[in-house]
Amino acid sequence: MKQSEIKQLSTAELQEKLSETKKSYTDLKMAHTISPLDNPIQLRVARRALARMATELTKRDVQ
């Protein structure tokens, strides 16, 4: 997800999306551990999306 898409989500939607992304990232890591992924860049993309969402939630909490 792009930062502009993340900013448009409500806080509840963002928390839901964050939990979904965490689960998919964990699944990707497990799959990669068992047998290498065809596209290991998926791990990086998922990890960065998680970081973007967590950062936006933190920024909203501070404000």
Model pLDDT for residues 22-59, shown as the tens digit of each residue: 999 999 999 999 999 999 999 999 999 999 999 999 99
The per-residue pLDDT for 36 is 93
Let me know: does 52 contact 1? Beta carbons within 8 Å: yes
19 pLDDT higher than 90: yes
Q: Is the pLDDT of residue 1 over 90?
A: no
For residue 63, pLDDT over 90 is answered with: no
Say what the pTM is.
0.88
Q: How far is CA 40 from CA 33, 45, 46, in A?
A: 11, 9, 10
Give the mean pLDDT of 8-26.
96
**Element (H or E) spanning 54, and its range?**
helix 41-62
